[in-house]
Amino acid sequence: MMDIIGYGAFFLTTALIFSFITLGLNLQWGLTGLFNVGLAGFVAVGAYTSALLTTPDTAGRFGGFDLPILVGWLGAMIIAGLAAAIIGVATLRLKSDYLAITTFGVAVVVQLVALNAQKLTGGPFGIGFIPRPFSSLAETPLLFNLANLGVVTIVIVIVYFALEHLAKSPWGRVLKALREDERAAISLGKSARFYRVQAFAVGGAIMGLAGAIQAHFIGFIAPDNYLPILTFQVWVMLIVGGSGSNKGAIVGSVLVWAIWAGSGALTSILFSPEQQARAASLQIVAIGVMLCIILLVRPGGLFGDMRRRQSAAAPQQKTAVDELSDRAS
């Protein structure tokens, strides 16, 4: 029984870490309409930043400052946010698929730098012995997992309510207006590029925080942790939960991770060790089938932006642009 509770806590902690990434993507795509498929790069920036700030130098790396974990998390948010802002200034002039291709290229560059800058990142061997919260409880997996789950839950609640407040603030209304009708929002005196760079930077900072939390929870990072499959997983989580909904981002993350982990466990039972490498692709098949079912039953996701769906059925309802115009006048 204790083993089941311990695994449940481990599972929920991992799912909530994915929720941070999905919340960041929801701010960029669901609220602002920025098609970012390079989110794995920002997660990697956050993870390596926090690891370098907090892990003692045992391999001749630059870094290893042995700072507190909380400092590492804050540093990860700052560096990932700055990286996202710089990339945003350079790329957010692009639209839709062009932006997607560019951000994907950025993620590939980050992953290759992590793979080849061995003096800084440990190269393909990664960085090990990263300080873990509640490491004194590591010999008792149940308490260790429950303690980490408690911390991650507290942080996710703070981020969730902060994003909800931002979405309902004047800043959030401008982002929604830009998503719905950019020309109308610009005609009201709003700088599309300025607001989009801000949204991109805040979303990148949240993704960097997710990478930092994951790095310290596991205690090890390597370039293979930030392959394009991570981007695929998070996009599916957001689509299933519902683009534009922070609640949906969290629920979608837990649901998709449950199917991903469950299908992985099932393949390990049903297939021999020699076949498991090929059978692992069934995880992607299972996620794809679930995505198709969700899109057929609820095209907007489980908790999709109700206003966006209702506006199609009731054109007379005020949009974000209408609200922005009313407040401007």
Query: What is the predicted pLDDT for the residue at 323?
Result: 65
The predicted-structure confidence for 228-266, as pLDDT tens digits, reads as follows 999 999 999 999 999 999 999 999 999 999 999 988 888
Q: Which domain holds residue 316?
A: 2-328
Q: How many domains does the chain have?
A: 1
Q: Which two tokens stand for residue 26?
A: 């929801």
Query: What is the predicted pLDDT for the residue at 62?
Result: 61
Query: What is the predicted pLDDT for the residue at 281?
Result: 81
Query: What is the predicted pLDDT for the residue at 312?
Result: 47
Query: What is the predicted pLDDT for the residue at 189?
Result: 85
Query: What is the predicted pLDDT for the residue at 119?
Result: 87
Q: Which two tokens stand for residue 233?
A: 């997983």
Residues of the chain with pLDDT below 70 are 1, 58-64, 305-329
How many whole angstroms separate alpha carbon 314 and alpha carbon 91? 35
Query: What is the predicted pLDDT for the residue at 313?
Result: 46
CATH number of the domain bearing residue 155:
1.10.3470
pTM for the complete prediction? 0.91
Q: Which two tokens stand for residue 202?
A: 């805040």
